[in-house]
Chains A and B, each alone.
Chain A
Amino acid sequence: MTAVGAGPYETLVVERDDHIGWLIFDRPDRGNAMDAVMLAELERAWQELDADPEVRVIVNTGNGSAFQTGLDVGQLASDPEALREQSRRTKRAELRFTAWHNEVRKPVIAAVNGTCAGGGLHFVADADIVIVAEDATFLDPHVSIGQVTAYEAIALVRKSPAEAVFRMALVGRHERLSARRAYDLGICSEVQPAADLRDAAADLAAKIALNSPAAMAATKRALWGALEAGLTDACRAGSQELVAMWGHPDQTEGPAAWADKREAQWST
């Protein structure tokens, strides 16, 4: 493992192993809840991982028994002043703590290692691919403490069957969605024993790292962009992304490597 970025992190572990960048929530005694420090560090971490030329794919997971439990309600109660900047960003829809917020161009895998609650759902909704530990659970307690669910559920409603999202948002802390049900609903694509989750994420990331970085970046732009528009408009915009790759060196290297039965050497 190699450290990534300019300096140490207090609330995250940010590392690189071969072509895989790891962004690991590291406040295990607080359920990895996001305080003001973590919120600021997340923005830096996504940008450093996206900018690191050695990193081709990013895995986001957590240390301890929780994946992510959203805003640190303890800090909100004891020191609201510390979160003033984040409150301002929330009002203006200028959040910067997920890969999507930071317009990360590389593929992002969320590996949900345990409880994913409330604002933790941002990291599920905003990832490209989601895999989960078999004992992971999902819940959204916002309305049980008088808070509104918006951003994270809005994205989930576009990406998965909506009834399940409405139910989570309205039942609040009184019920949890299991890993198995999340798989059945297509919220995630893989369920693994907790002990194997990081290995499974690394295996998946290694496969993705074999693909053309430029083609994947354009694919991400086309598919996430499609969530913004009607079908025909989205296809029309997507067709521009398709054509934009024509003539790119990866487009001759890909078929050539295929024919030569060797790994492709993608341009960076």
Chain B
Amino acid sequence: MEHLIIEKHGSVGWLINDRPDQLNAMNSAMRDEFADAWLELDRDPDVRVIVHTGNGRAFQTGVDVSEIAGDGVGFERYRESVESWDLHFTAWQQGVRKPVITAVNGICAGGGFHWVAEADIVIAASDAQFFDPHVSIGQVVAIEAIGLMRKMPAEAVMRMALVGRHERMSAQRAYELGMISEVVDPPERLREAAQELAEKIAHNSPAAMAATKRALWGSLELGLTDACQAGAQDLVSMWGHPDQTEGPAAFAERREPEWQPLY
């Protein structure tokens, strides 16, 4: 891959945005690489948890506007996929079954919020900054903010969407609002902290986590009672699974459980 790096550290798969000179903005080549990278990590039997972060001083800054402005094709290259809701650049869009941690290493702007809204868990370096400049350059904010509004207080999301590039949110405020669950200080410790968190998660039953993800993300599609009824199916789907006997047995015997692989 040209713009993404995939690494494995133990049972943790790392996906690293690697266009630091363009603040990790997503050109069309990177967009295609994301689709493959998520599926590769999800299907890798050695990977139990995925961490997504960026190289350089930005995490992600959305679509590469210089490519849009400079090549004469512009946004038209994306028209068909957006109009038909056929996107493939985030874990959620790719139906990834494993837990995904986004580790925001610096600036997260505009379309960069896709990987905040569509991750399961988000942590950030203490010097991370969040803002959404779409309306300041005549663009609409939609998908990323729609996801965020279901997962955190909506007023803050609308403020970012409407104030545009004229204001930034700190990592601390993002933490207070529950947009992220951990602020890592000093910021240089971010990857270490993400690896530690991922290793904790990797101790849990892969099958139970996959069903839990299905239930919780699915609930964002439905009204409360319908979501609970659908969630009940996800709950029951694990009954009889070997992990359900292995878990209590390992607990009683004070050993690590031997989980069934997801694939």
Contact = CB atoms under 8 A, between A and B. Distances in A.
Contacts of B69: 255
- Interface size grouping (class) on chain B: 35 or more
B162 A160 contact: no
Contacts of B189: none
Interface string B18-58: 00000000000000000000000000000000000000000
Contact of A231 (B65, B150, B154): B150
Given A128-B162, A254-B136, A187 B83 contact: no
Which of B76, B139, B220, B221 counts the most A-chain CB atoms under 10 A from its CB? Answer: B139
A250 B140 CA distance: 11
Nearest to B177: A186
Given A129-B155, A159-B154, A160-B153, A245 B82 contact: no
Interface stretch (A46-54, A142-150, A207-215): A207-215
Interface in B111-165: 134-143, 145-147, 149-150, 152-159, 161-164
B154 to A, nearest CB: 4
B251 interface: no
Contacts of A160: 153-155
B257 to A, nearest CB: 32
B222 interface: yes
Contacts of A227: 149, 154
Contacts of B7: none
Interface in A182-233: 184-189, 204, 207-208, 210-212, 214-216, 218-220, 222-223, 226-227, 230-233
B221 A232 contact: yes
B163 A204 contact: yes
B162 A235 contact: no
Interface in A69-95: none
A130 B155 contact: yes
A207 B167 contact: yes
B138 A250 contact: yes
Contact of B75 (A238, A246, A258): A246
B156 A245 contact: no
A230 B221 contact: yes
Nearest to B223: A230
B137 A223 contact: no
Contacts of B143: 235, 238-239, 242
A128 to B, nearest CB: 5
A43 interface: no
A101 interface: no
Interface in B68-122: 69, 74-76, 79, 82-83, 85
A243 B156 contact: no
B139 A215 contact: yes
Contacts of A241: 140, 142
Interface in B178-203: 178
Nearest to A128: B158
A161 B136 contact: no
Contacts of B135: 211-212, 215-216, 219
Interface of A: 107, 128-130, 158-161, 184-189, 204, 207-208, 210-212, 214-216, 218-220, 222-223, 226-227, 230-236, 238-246, 248, 250-255, 258, 264, 266
Given A215-B139, A239-B83, 12 more contacts: A159-B149, A207-B167, A208-B163, A215-B134, A215-B135, A219-B161, A222-B140, A226-B145, A238-B142, A242-B82, A258-B136, A264-B138
